[in-house]
Structure 1
């Protein structure tokens, strides 16, 4: 049983420590809104994150250790693996215009490893972006925030609900017939574009391989490669070096 106390708080996430073992975790607090309409949505998103995150076990996916309701029913708390490197977004903000293309390739490759795993299990993340990708102290990727995710019950199944962050959302999500895991690949392409333009020391001097990676991810969904294909095709020509 975890007996935890708070060390520091950053917005909706606190750094906590188990009194018995000394291990540190991230405590994510999800607040239920008072309004009767939004309260139902918030509870659904919290339950969704618990169910999906708890079912996934991979080096590129954040681990969920425990979830519980606060007695007053206002919050659901998730005890998660601590990713001490923060988000990719914060990493980019700290290193704006100073990163090498090899660093971006490392991030993209490890996100793809995580996407290949979750897609194989029918999970669509639906909100891949730099803020929802975390880094360990050693600089390895952990995909997080599965609140907007969904699970397809068969290879032919398609999702229809429109979720996500506008700039990273596939422009073809609203087409008839629904969508599948290809929307996460589109979001990865937008993430790559964001990293190219904000983090690279010379964004206009990037390699053709990186530009081609972005093109492949954001092209028409009928021709968009899946995560395993992108891992094989693109990273033969994109160098990959650790962040730390």
Structure 2
């Protein structure tokens, strides 16, 4: 529990310092919801990208779809410029505002690249959505350490 609490605090510090239009802002933290802090962020009207595309499939133009893709790419570019790897980028972690613009969310696997002299490591097994995990992370044996890099987000 103490290890998880430290990890949550570290992730909140990472998220809290990120300021960009394509990154879901962290407004604050509440601690009255159990053992872990609750993250407070704005409500994103259209929800996750996956559901948004299903609901809007017939009404989205190629330009609208490219705009969403561009927002995701800008968000990743910003994260990587701040030495942050998202680590779990899926349609469920891309949220769509009421104006149709996308932002990246759920930094539960994010990590600071420079933390371990240029490379971040996760011990144990692959976390996040295995369907979308970078192929190179699947080639690591259970005894080895996983090395996340900006390329894993791509």
- TM class by smaller structure: 0.7 to 0.9
Trace 1:1-244 onto structure 2 (pairs within 5 A).
39-40=1-2, 42-70=4-32, 73-96=34-57, 99-153=60-114, 157-161=118-122, 162-175=126-139, 178-185=147-154
Alpha-carbon distance change, 156 to 112 in structure 1, aligned in 2, over 3 angstroms: farther
Cα pair 2:87 2:110 within 8 Å, conserved:
yes
Q: 1:140 and 1:155 mapped to 2: Cα distance?
A: 34
Alpha-carbon distance change, 141 to 155 in structure 1, aligned in 2, over 3 angstroms: farther
Cα pair 1:48 1:148 within 8 Å, conserved:
no
Q: Computing the radius of gyration over CA atoms, which structure comes out larger, 1 or 2?
A: 1
Q: 1:101 and 1:119 mapped to 2: Cα distance?
A: 27
Q: Which has the higher strand share?
A: 1
State which drifts further: 166-175 or 91-100.
Answer: 91-100
Give ranges in structure 1 of 5+ residues lacking alignment.
1-38, 186-244
Cα pair 2:83 2:113 within 8 Å, conserved:
yes
The alignment partner of 2:103 has SS state of strand
Q: 1:85 and 1:79 mapped to 2: Cα distance?
A: 18
Q: 1:107 and 1:45 mapped to 2: Cα distance?
A: 30
The alignment partner of 1:78 has SS state of strand
The alignment partner of 2:27 has SS state of strand
What CA RMSD, in Å, does the superposition of the two structures yield over aligned residues? 2.5
1:134, distance to aligned residue in structure 2 (A): 0.8
1:103, distance to aligned residue in structure 2 (A): 2.4
Q: 2:85 and 2:29 mapped to 1: Cα distance?
A: 22
Q: TM-score, normalised by structure 1?
A: 0.53
Q: TM-score, normalised by structure 2?
A: 0.81
Cα pair 1:48 1:149 within 8 Å, conserved:
no
Q: 2:51 and 2:7 mapped to 1: Cα distance?
A: 24
Give ranges in structure 2 of 5+ residues lacking alignment.
141-145
Cα pair 2:11 2:111 within 8 Å, conserved:
no
Q: For this pair of structures, how many residues does the alignment match?
A: 146
